[in-house]
Structure 1
Amino acid sequence: MASPNDGLRPVARPRLYEQVAEQIATWVADNGLGAGDRLPPERDLATRLGVSRATVSQALVALEVVGAVTVRHGDGAILTGGSGVRRITEAIREHAQRLPDVIDARDALETKIAALAAQRRTDADADAIDAALDGMEADIDAGGRGVSGDEQFHAAVTAAAHSTLLARMMAEISELVLETRIESLGQPGRPRDSLAAHRRIAAAIRAGDADEAARAMHDHVEQVSDVAILREPPA
C-alpha cells in the first residue's frame, strides 16, 4: 500500500484567467508577434475566447505583472517581449506564491513609514504627497488606473518619513511592490478605492496624527492584498 507521504500532491486547479493568459501567450507565439506589437482589444479577445471582458482584463493584468505586456491607457496591451510569454502559467503562479510575503513586508515597512511621515513631514513633503494624489486622480478620471500616481504617492510618503534606512529598504523591494501595485489596481473599482485610501493617509500625515496615519496605511495594504490571484478558484 502506498504511503501517505509518497509524493502525491493536490492538483492545482487553474483559474479561468490563467487559462486565458496562456491561450493569449500561445496565440502570440504561433503568430510570431514580438516586442512592440499590440494585442487585439479586450472586447475582441473576449469574443474570440468566449469569456467575459472581466476575465480578459484579469488575464492582461497577470501578463503585465510577469512582464509579458504593458497596458497603456488609449493604446491597449503592448507586448514587451519578456520571458513571461514563454512560461506564463508558471510565472503567474510564482508571482502568486511570493505575493503574500511582499504584502507582509509592505505592511511592516509602510505602516511605520506613514507614522514617521506624520511626525516629520515638512510643508513641502505634504505638498508633494498632495501633488501625487492630484496626478493619480487625473489619470483615473481620464480612464487610466493611476499606477504612476500611486507609485509617486508612496514615494512621497517615504520621503516625508526622512529615514534613509527605511527608504533604502523600500528601494530594495521596489520591483516586487510594483507587482502588487499593478495587480491591485487591475481589480475592478480598485483605482478609486485606492485613491480614497491614499487621501485618508495624506490627511493624517498633514494633521500630524501618527497613529491614524499608521492605521490608514495598514488598512490600505490590507486592501491591496485583496486580489483575484490570491482567491481560491471554484472547485
Structure 2
Amino acid sequence: MELKPIHTRKIYEEIVRQIKELIGDGNLKPGDRLPSERELAERLGVSRASVREALTALAAMGVISVRPGEGTFVQTVRNGAIVEPLAMALLMDRQAAVDLFEARGVLESEAAALAARRGSKEDIEKLGEIIKEMERQLEENDLLEEETDVRFHLIIAEAAHNSVLARLMYTVSETMRQVLRDSRRRLYEAPGNSEKLLEQHRLIYQAIASRDGRAARRAMSRHLHFVIRELKRER
C-alpha cells in the first residue's frame, strides 16, 4: 500500500482522498485492515490528530468501520452516495449539536422499537452484557465511559435488522463523536448524570428484552431528550 507525504492546509481531507483513491484503485479491498493510527501518521508525515479526524470522516461516510479491540477495516458494503453528503456537512458545521441529537432521536427511537420486535437472543444478550459493564464502571469509577455508551446504541441499531437504518445510525454516531467530543465528555462528568444515564439505558434494555416496542421507543425518546436538554445547558 503506497501512501504519499502530505503538504496541504486541509490535511485530513487529503488523507481521506488518498485512502479513497487506494480503495478505488483496488489497492485496498473490502475487509482489508488499515495500518494503525500511529503508523498512518508516520507514513503520511502528519499528526495523529489529523489521521484521527480523517478516519472519523471516512467512518461517517461508510468507507471504513472501526471495530474496538480489532482495528479499522474497509467496509464490505458501502452506501456512501446516501450518507457521505450528510456526514461531511455535519463534520463542517460544529454548531449542529442539538440538531444532530434530534435527528438521532427520530432514527433511534424507531430502531429501539424494531429491536424489541426483531432482536435475536444474541442481540439482547449483548445489550445485557453492556448494561453489566456500565454498572461495573459506575461502581469502580463513578463515571460511565463513552465507548460503552456508543456500543450500546450501535447494537440496538444492528438488532433492528434493517441495513439502511443501521448504516444511518452508524453515520450519525461517528459524526457525533467528532463534533460533540467536548460536550459529551461534560455530559458524563456532570454530577449525577452517569447514574441517570445508566438508569435510562437499563430501561431501554428492559423494554427491548421484554419485546415491548412501544416501551422501547418511549424509553429511548426520553433518554435522548434528556441528553438534548443537558447539551443545551452546555452551550
Deviations 1:168-220 (A, max 9, x none): 00121223332264343232211111110011011110111101100000000
1:207 is matched with 210
Matched, 1:150 2:153: no
Structure with higher Rg: it is 1
Deviation, 1:100, is 1.1
Aligned to 1:119: 117
- Relative to structure 1, the CA distance from residue 188 to residue 112 in structure 2 (aligned partners, 3 Å threshold; closer, same or farther) is same
Q: Return 5+ residue gaps in structure 1 as ranges.
A: 1-79, 84-93
Q: 1:119 to 1:126 in 2, by over 3 A?
A: same
Q: Give the match for residue 48 of structure 1.
A: none
The 5-angstrom pairing of residues 35-54 of structure 1 reads none
Which residue does 2:97 correspond to in 1?
Answer: 99
What is the match of residue 231 of structure 1?
233
More moved, 196-205 vs 166-175: 166-175
8 Å CA contact retained: 1:133, 1:150:
no
2:195 to 192, 197, 202: 192
2:116–2:216 CA contact under 8 A, matched in 1: yes
Q: Following the alignment from structure 1 to structure 2, what is the Cα–Cα distance between the partners of residues 106 and 214?
A: 13
Mean Cα deviation higher: 107-116 or 134-143: 134-143
Distance 2:203 2:113 in 1: 13
Task: With the length of structure 2 as denominator, give the TM-score of the two structures.
Answer: 0.55
Contact 2:101–2:228 at 8 Å: present in 1 too? yes
Asked whether the 8 Å contact 1:136–1:148 carries over to 2, the reply is: no
**Alpha-carbon contact 1:181-1:224 (below 8 Å) kept:** no
Aligned residues: 142
Q: Which amino acid is 1:148 matched to?
A: E
The amino acid across from 1:171 in the alignment is: Y
Runs of 4 or more, structure 1, over 6 Å off, are none
What's the counterpart of residue 159 of structure 2?
160
Q: Match for 1:151: what amino acid?
A: V
CA gap 1:120/1:105 in 2 versus in 1, 3 angstroms: same
TM-score by length of 1: 0.55
Aligned to 1:173, what secondary structure does the other structure show?
A: helix
Segments of structure 2 that go 5 or more residues without pairing to the other structure are: 1-46, 51-92
Cα distance in structure 1, aligned partners of 2:174 and 2:158: 18
Is the contact made by 1:184 and 1:226 (CA closer than 8 Å) also made in structure 2? no
Which amino acid in 1 is paired with 2:188? Answer: L
Following the alignment from structure 1 to structure 2, what is the Cα–Cα distance between the partners of residues 149 and 125? 15
Conserved? CA contact 1:121–1:160, under 8 Å? yes
Q: How far apart are residue 81 of structure 1 and its match?
A: 7.8
